């Protein structure tokens, strides 16, 4: 379940299905992924229930070493980043950090 947001983009996408920064195809994909994150019980469930199956769930390094990321679209650079603690997704962000 999503417990907290790290930026307004993620919260607005999840709650209102809106984001001016993302094209429509990436917006739809991010809505799907955030909804999925809110309804799974573990990181393993997130990986198994996603579509396409390979969402590139991975741990980040460097200054973001406590976070994970999943691709909204690999070639565009847009990701959903988050911390996973006690079965919850916290500080969820939609960002292009590359």
Residue 52 sits in a domain whose CATH number is 3.30.2310.20
d(C-alpha 49, C-alpha 37), whole Å: 10
SS3 of the chain: CECCECCHHHHHHHHHCCCCCCCHHHHHHHHHHHHHHHHCCCHHHHHHHCCCCCCCCEECCHHHCCCEEEEEECCCCEEEEEEEECCEEEEEEEEECC
Q: What is the pLDDT of residue 56?
A: 86
Mean pLDDT of 79-90: 95
Boundaries of domain holding 65: 8-96
The answer to whether residue 2 sits within a structural domain is no
The average pLDDT across 5-23 equals 95
Peptide bond into 52 cis (omega under 30): yes
The model's pTM: 0.92
Answer yes or no: is 1 within a domain.
no
Structural domain includes residue 3? no
Residue 12 domain flag? yes
Contact 76, 68 (CB under 8 A): no
Domain assignment of residue 32, yes or no: yes
Q: Give the number of domains in the chain.
A: 1
Residue 49 within any structural domain of the chain: yes
Instruction: Please check whether residue 34 lies inside any domain of the structure.
Output: yes
Give pLDDT tens digits for 54-76: 788 999 999 999 999 999 988 88
């Amino acid at each position: 379940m999503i417990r907290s947001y790290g930026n307004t983009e993620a919260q607005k996408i999840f709650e209102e299905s809106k984001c001016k920064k993302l094209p429509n195809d990436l917006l739809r994909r991010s809505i799907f992924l955030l909804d999925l994150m809110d309804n799974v019980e573990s990181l393993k469930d997130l990986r198994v229930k996603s579509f396409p199956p390979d969402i590139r769930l991975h741990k980040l390094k460097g200054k973001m070493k406590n976070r994970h990321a999943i691709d909204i679209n690999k070639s565009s650079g847009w990701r959903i980043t988050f911390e996973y603690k006690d079965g919850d997704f916290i500080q969820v962000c939609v960002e292009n950090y590359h």
